[in-house]
Amino acid sequence: MKKRAVSILLAAALAAGALAGCGSPSGTGSAEGNTETGTEEGSAETGTEEGKVINIYSWNDEFRQRVEAVYPEVKETSKDGTVTTLKDGTEIHWTINPNQDGVYQQKLDEALMNQADAAADDKVDIFLSETDYVNKYTDADADAAMPLTDLGIDPEKDLADQYSFTKVTASDADGVQRGSTWQCCPGLLVYRRDIAKDVFGTDDPEAVGEKVKDWDTMKATAEELKAKGYFAFSSYADTFRLYGNSIAQSWVSPGETVIKVDQKIMDWVADSKEWLDAGYLDKNVKGQWNDDWNKAMSSSSKVFAFLFPAWGIDFTLKPNWDGEDGAWAVTNPPQEYNWGGSYVHACTGTDNPKHVKDIILAVTGDQENLLKISKDYADFTNTKTGMQQAAKDDEGFSSEFLGGQNAFKYFAPVAENIEIAPLSAYDQGCVELIQNSFNDYLQGQVDFEKAKANFETAIRERYPDITEIQWPE
Amino acid sequence: MEKKHKKIDYAKWGYLFILPFFVSFFIFSLIPLVDTIRYSFFEYYRSGIKEVGPNFVGLENYISLLGSDMLKYTGNTMMLWIIGFIPQIVIALLLAEWFVDARLKIHGTQFFKVVIYLPNLIMASAFAMLFFTMFSTNGPINSILMSLGWISQPVDFLGSVTGTRSLVGLMNFLMWFGNSTIMLMAAIMGISPDIFEASELDGCNSVQRFFYITLPQIRPILAYTLITAIIGGLQMFDVPQILTNGQGTPDRTSMTLIMFLNSHLKSKNYGMAGALSVYLFVVSGILCFIVYRMTNNDDPDGSKAAAKKAKKQRRG
C-alpha cells in the first residue's frame, strides 16, 4: 500500500511538473500594483544626486550610434557594445532586445513593473519606443514615460524646430509631450538604376518619379516592368505602410474596446491580391524582415523598388546590397507616408534625470547635432529648418550609396505633408496580425471570410479586452 | 525477535536525502501549480502596461475556451504528433531488433547508437531554425531540386498545410527515434535468450520471431513509450513555434495547444492560460495514471485482462 502511495505521488509530480512548465505565472502576483507606488518614489528622487549607471532599453544599436556621435560627454564604448563610459565616470548600460515577436516590449514591461523596487543603478533611465507602440508608453495612466517638462525641457522652446507631427505622436491624450525623437520618417521610393535604364531607358529620378507618381501610374509602370521580367515591389507587405499609416480613424478609439478596421486596410488587401495575381510582386517573398526579403535587396534579385524612409535605406537596404555603391536612387513615392520613428523617453523613476535631460536634448533638440547625424548616417532628422538647408545643400548631403544623389531634396517635401494617422495603444498588434491573417488569403490558402475570422480570433487572443471587431461596409 | 529494540532505523536518512527534491518541488512546482489553478478562475490580464483584474469570474474561462478553437488545436497537435510518431516507432522497432539480433552481427552498433541519438541533443529551436532556412523558398533544398531539374518552380514548403505539417513531423521523428530505439533495445535484451533459442530449434523465421515473440514480450515497454510520447506530444511547441514564427501558419493549421497557450501569455492573460493549462493537466494526469497502472502490474504480459485470464486458467 505504501509503495502504491509513493507511485501515485511520483506520477502526480510528473504531471504537475508538466503543467508548471507550461503555465509559469508564478511570481507575477507579487509584482503587480508596484507601478503606482513607483511613481511617487520616482518624482521624489528627481533632483537628488545622480546615479552611477544609466540604463537604456532599446531594440538595436541605432540609438547608441547616435549618442556616441553627438553626445559630447561620451568617452568610449566597450567592444561588445554593452557599456558606454562617460567622461565623468558614469556608465551607460545598453539593454538590447529584438523587436520581433514583442520580445523587446516584454522585457521592457517586466523592467517597468519592477522599476519601483529596483536598486537605483538598476532602474531604467531611458527607453525607446516605436511609432507602432509609442502610445502604450505615453499613456498618462500608465505613467511610464515622464513628461518632458518634469525633466526641465520645454518642448515649446527647446524642441521648437521639430516637425510638429512627431511631437503630437509623443504626447499623451492631454497633449503633454512625454518623448522626443531625433528622426522623422518620411518615406520615399528607392529603385535600382540598372533596372530603370533597362526598362524605361533612363535612371533620372525626375523621369522615374513621373512613372510612379500615383497608384494608377504605378500600376501601368508595374506592367511595363513585368513585361521585362521584373517585379515592381518585393512583397505586399512593402506597400502596407502607405495604406496603414493613412487610416482615417484609429484602430481603437480612446476609451473604447471596439476595433474598427479602416477602409484603407481593406483597400490594401484588395490591391495586394490584384498585384500579386498580376505578377507585379514576388510571390516567394512573404512579408518583411525575413531572409527572402533581405535577398530581394541583393544584386541577383529582380525587384525594381522598395518603399523606405531614410533609416530603411541606411539600416536595411545598404547592408543587404551586395553590389557597388551608386546602384540605387530615390524618388517620390506614389503616396506620401511615414514609417517608423524611434522615440526617446525618460523613464519615470530615473535616478539620472540630469544626464537623461542632456542626452535627450543633445540627440533630439540640437540642430547642429541633428545635421551631423543626417550627414553621417543619412538619417532624416527632426529639424525643420535644418532639413530645408540640407535639401538645398547638394554638396554636403549627397549620398555615395545613392550615386551622389541628395535624398533630402525628396524627403523634405514629403515630411512637410505628412499627416500622422491617429494612434492607439493597440496599433502594433493590429498591424502585425492583420498582415499575418491576410497573408494566408493573399497566398491562396484561405478565402476572404476565413482570413477575417482568423484576424478576429488572433486579435482577441492578443488583446483580451477587445469586445468587438467592426469591418468596413 | 528479542533483539528488535536494537534495530537501527535507516529510513530517516532516506527521507533526509530525498528532502531537497520535495522542497524544490514544493517551491518551484507545487506553488506555481496551485497558483495556475487559482488564476484560472479569474479574469486577469494586461492591457498595454495596465493590469486588469484579478476579478473572480468562476468557470467563465473554461467555458469560453470550449467555445474557442481549442479542439481544433488539439486536433492539430495530435495530427502533428502522429505524423512524427508512426515512422518513429516503426523505425525504432526495426533498428532495435537489428541491433540486438546476434546473428546479424552488425558492426559498430555502439557507434550507430550514439549517432541516432545525436539529433536529440540539439536544441529543438536550433533544429527548427535550420529546417526553416533549408526549406525556405530560396533555400538550399529548393536550389538542389531545381538544379537537378526535378522541379521548375521553387516549392513553397512552409506555405502549404501538408508541407509544414510534414516538416514538423519529420523533425520530431528525427529528434526522437534514437531515444525510442535505445529504450526498445533495452526491452528486447531483457527477453530471455532461451525463448529465442527454443524458437529457432522449432524452425521459426525472423518475421515470425518478431511478431510472435519479441513484440508480445516488449508490450509493457512499448505501451510506456507510447504514453510518454503522447504526453510529450501534447506539449509539443518548440518546433512548430520556431518554424512558423509562432503563428501556426498557414491558417493556424500547425498551431499546437501550447502555442495557443503562448499566444494568451503574450497579453499576460493568466486567467485564460491557466484554464487551458488545467485542461492539459487533466489529460496528462489521466495518461500518467494509465502508465502507472500498466507499470505496476505483476503480470509479465502487462495487461490486466491477461492477468485475469492467467488466474482463471490456474484455478481451472
Assigned C-alpha cell, B23: 522542497
Assigned C-alpha cell, A68: 556616441
Together in a domain, A96 and A172: yes
- Determine which helix (DSSP H) or strand (DSSP E) holds B68, and give its type and residue range: none
Q: How far off is chain A from B285, nearest CA to CA, in Å?
A: 6
CB A126 within 8 A of CB A352: no
For B52, which of A8, A24, A465 is closest by C-beta distance?
A465
CB B185 within 8 A of CB B101: no
Task: Convert A277-289 to b/e letters by CB count within 10 Å (16 or more is b).
Answer: eeebbbbbbbbbe
Domain assignment present for residue B259? The answer is yes
Phi-psi region of B41 (alpha: psi -120 to 50; beta: other; left: phi over 0): alpha
Dihedrals phi, psi of A175, to nearest 5 degrees: 85, 15
> How far is it, in rounded angstroms, from Cα A57 to Cα A85?
16
Together in a domain, A312 and A326: yes
Domain assignment present for residue B18? The answer is no
> How far is it, in rounded angstroms, from Cα B80 to Cα B165?
6
Confirm or reject contact between A102 and chain B (CB < 8 A).
yes
Residue in the structure block whose three cell numbers are 521648437 = A160
Residue in the structure block whose three cell numbers are 461596409 = A473
Domain assignment present for residue A118? The answer is yes
Contacts of A467 in chain B (CB under 8 A): none
Contacts of A295 in chain B (CB under 8 A): 138
Mean pLDDT of chain A: 83
Chain-centre distance of CA B114, in angstroms? Answer: 20
- Bridge partners (DSSP) of residue A187 are A309
Contacts of B138 in chain A (CB under 8 A): 284, 291-292, 295
Domain containing residue B233: CATH number? 1.10.3720.10
Would the CB atoms of A19 and B284 count as touching at under 8 Å? yes
Which residue, among B65, B119, B90, has the nearest Cα to B239 in the 3D structure?
B119
Domain assignment present for residue A459? The answer is yes
CA distances from A470 to A64, A262, A309, B306 (A): 41, 9, 31, 61
CA distances from B98 to A141, A253, A453, B116, B316 (A): 68, 67, 51, 14, 40
| DSSP H stretches of helix in A228-315 | 236-244, 263-278, 291-295, 310-312
> How far is it, in rounded angstroms, from Cα A113 to Cα B109?
55
Together in a domain, A287 and A404: yes
Domain assignment present for residue B192? The answer is yes
Confirm or reject contact between A14 and chain B (CB < 8 A).
yes
* ipTM score: 0.76
Q: How far off is chain B from A379, nearest CA to CA, in Å?
A: 30
Amino acid at B57: V
Contacts of B277 in chain A (CB under 8 A): 19, 22-23
Binding-face residues of B in 14-33 toward A, CB within 8 A:
25, 28-33
Together in a domain, A313 and A218: yes
Which residue, among A252, A306, A264, has the nearest Cα to A281 in the 3D structure?
A306
Together in a domain, A216 and A247: yes
Number of domains in chain A: 2
Together in a domain, A312 and A229: yes
Domain assignment present for residue A103? The answer is yes
Q: Which of B2-6, B253-257, B296-300, B311-315 has the highest mean pLDDT?
A: B253-257
In sequence order, the 6+-apart residues with CB closer than 8 A to the CB of A108 are A57, A97, A124, A127
For A26, which of B35, B246, B250 is closest by C-beta distance?
B35
* % chain B with pLDDT above 70: 91
CA distances from A454 to A433, A458, A472 (A): 9, 6, 17
Q: Round to the nearest angstrom and report the end-to-end CA distance of chain A.
A: 69
Together in a domain, A135 and A194: no
Domain assignment present for residue A22? The answer is no
- Bridge partners (DSSP) of residue A126 are A56, A346
Contacts of A443 in chain B (CB under 8 A): 156, 159, 250
pLDDT value at position B314?
63
Domain assignment present for residue B5? The answer is no
Domain assignment present for residue A6? The answer is no
Q: Round to the nearest angstrom and report the end-to-end CA distance of chain B.
A: 41
Confirm or reject contact between B38 and chain A (CB < 8 A).
no
Q: How far off is chain B from A388, nearest CA to CA, in Å?
A: 38
Domain assignment present for residue B28? The answer is no
CB B240 within 8 A of CB B259: yes
CB atoms within 10 A of CB A219: 16
Together in a domain, A280 and A419: yes
| Per-residue model confidence as pLDDT tens for chain A (473 residues) | 455 555 555 555 555 544 444 443 333 333 333 333 333 344 444 445 778 899 999 998 888 988 988 888 888 888 888 888 888 888 899 999 988 777 888 889 889 888 888 888 888 999 999 888 888 888 888 888 999 999 888 888 888 888 888 888 888 888 889 999 998 888 899 999 999 999 998 888 889 998 898 889 999 999 999 999 999 999 999 999 889 888 888 898 888 889 999 999 999 999 999 999 999 998 888 888 888 888 889 988 889 999 999 888 888 898 899 888 888 999 999 988 888 888 999 999 888 889 999 999 999 888 889 888 888 887 888 888 888 888 888 888 888 888 888 888 888 888 888 877 788 888 888 988 899 889 889 988 888 999 999 899 889 888 888 888 999 87
Domain assignment present for residue A322? The answer is yes
Domain assignment present for residue B32? The answer is no
Number of domains in chain B: 1
Which residue, among B105, B28, B63, has the nearest Cα to B276 in the 3D structure?
B63
CB B151 within 8 A of CB B145: yes
CB A348 within 8 A of CB A148: no
Domain containing residue A412: CATH number? 3.40.190.10
Together in a domain, A290 and A387: no
Assigned C-alpha cell, A99: 523587436
Closest residue of A to B289, CA-based?
A11
Would the CB atoms of A144 and B49 count as touching at under 8 Å? yes
Amino acid at A69: A
Together in a domain, A278 and A160: no
Together in a domain, A322 and A440: yes
* % chain B with pLDDT above 90: 25
pLDDT digits (tens, 9 = 90+) for A33-42: 333 333 334 4
Confirm or reject contact between A255 and chain B (CB < 8 A).
no
Domain assignment present for residue B45? The answer is no
CA distances from A457 to A240, A361, A434, A468, B260 (A): 21, 43, 11, 11, 11
Would the CB atoms of B33 and A286 count as touching at under 8 Å? no
Domain assignment present for residue B184? The answer is yes
Would the CB atoms of B288 and A141 count as touching at under 8 Å? no
For B35, which of A14, A25, A101 is closest by C-beta distance?
A25
Binding-face residues of A in 109-148 toward B, CB within 8 A:
109, 112-113, 136-137, 139, 141-142, 144
Per DSSP, chain B holds a count of helices (H) and strands (E) of 16, 2
| DSSP H stretches of helix in A296-366 | 310-312, 318-320, 353-364
pLDDT digits (tens, 9 = 90+) for A56-91: 999 988 889 889 888 888 888 888 888 888 888 888
Point out the domain boundary residue: A392, A415, A433. Answer: A392
Peptide bond into B119 cis (omega under 30): no
Together in a domain, A237 and A381: no
In sequence order, the 6+-apart residues with CB closer than 8 A to the CB of A236 are A268, A272, A275, A276, A281, A442
Domain assignment present for residue A4? The answer is no
Domain assignment present for residue A32? The answer is no
Of the two residues B223 and A101, the one the predictor is more confident about is B223
Would the CB atoms of A11 and B161 count as touching at under 8 Å? no
CA distances from A240 to A265, A287, A432, B225 (A): 8, 10, 11, 49
Its domain, for residue B269, covers: 67-315
Its domain, for residue A54, covers: 42-184+341-392
Q: How far off is chain B from A128, nearest CA to CA, in Å?
A: 15
Assigned C-alpha cell, B279: 485542461
pLDDT value at position B5?
64
Supply the Cα-derived Rg of chain A in whole angstroms.
Answer: 24
